[in-house]
Amino acid sequence: TAQPSPAAATARAGEPARTTSHPSPTDAPPDTPVDPLAPVTPDPTHRPAAAATRTVPHVLYIGASPDDHAQLRVDRGLRELLGIAEWGGIVVEPVPAAMASDLRRIRATRPDILHLACHGSGESLLFEDIHGEEHAVSAHQIVRTLRLYRDEVGIRLRGLVLASCDSEAIVEQFRGTADTVVAHTGPLDDLCANAFAGLFYREVAHGLGLAGAARVAARLTVLDNESCEALESGLVVLS
pLDDT recorded at residue 31 = 53
Q: Is this model's pTM higher than 0.85 or not?
A: no
- DSSP one-letter string for the chain: -PPPPHHHHHHHTTSPPP------GGGS-TTSPPPTTS-----TT--PPPPP-PPPPEEEEEE---TTSPPP-HHHHHHHHHHHHHTTS-EEEEE-S--GGGGGHHHHH--SEEEEESEEETTEEEEE-TTS-EEEEEHHHHHHHHHHIIIII---EEEEEEESTTGGGTGGGGTTSEEEEEEESS---HHHHHHHHHHHHHHHHTT--HHHHHHHHHHHHHHH-GGGHHHHHTEEEE-
Half-sphere exposure of 39 (CA within 13 A, CB side): 4
Q: Where are the domains of the chain?
A: 58-238
pLDDT recorded at residue 150 = 97
Would you say residue 30 has pLDDT above 90?
Answer: no
pLDDT range class, residue 42, cuts 50, 70, 90: very low
- Read off the pLDDT of residues 73-98 as tens digits, 9 standing for 90 and up: 888 888 889 999 999 999 999 999 99
Q: What is the dihedral of CA 120, 200, 113, 239, to 10 degrees?
A: -80
The topology (CATH level 3) of 58-238 is Rossmann fold (3.40.50)
Would you say residue 7 has pLDDT above 80?
Answer: no
pLDDT recorded at residue 29 = 52
pLDDT range class, residue 68, cuts 50, 70, 90: confident
Do 214 and 165 meet the contact criterion of CB atoms below 8 Å apart?
Answer: no
- Read off the pLDDT of residues 155-200 as tens digits, 9 standing for 90 and up: 999 999 999 999 999 999 999 999 999 999 999 999 999 999 999 9
Give me the mean pLDDT over the 32-51 stretch: 46
pLDDT recorded at residue 209 = 96
